[in-house]
Amino acid sequence: MVTVLWRECWLKPLSIYDIETESCKSCKITLEDQDFVTSCEFCDIGIMHDNCANSHILNKHKDDVKKKIELHKDKRLHDYQ
């Protein structure tokens, strides 16, 4: 079975003053206008490019992601009972 990981589907415009950083915490490249950014839900690394967050989460939090998938499976089972 293929499990996909859906992050929030809405866009929330923030200024770099709101996020208190001018660069991606993962690749350190300066954020540009209308870059897609997000934060990591597993640690407090800070704001990263959306793409950087994907690889960050898959590299650093493989176990957390697995746990989350397992948790989700459990929930689904309960819904059917």
Residue 39's SS3 state is: strand
Q: Does 31 sit near Zn ion (CB under 5 A)?
A: no
Total residues at interface with Zn ion (CB under 5 A): 9
At its nearest, how many Å lie between Zn ion and the CB of residue 53? 8
Please state, as a whole number, how many other Cβ atoms lie within 10 Å of the Cβ of residue 56: 21
Q: Does 37 sit near Zn ion (CB under 5 A)?
A: no
Q: Which two tokens stand for residue 34?
A: 């209308």
- Give the C-alpha separation, 75 to 36, whole Å: 30
Q: Which two tokens stand for residue 74?
A: 């459990």
Stretch 51-70: interaction string toward Zn ion, x if CB under 5 A:
-x------------------
Which residues here bind Zn ion, judged by CB under 5 A?
24, 26-27, 40, 42-43, 45, 49, 52
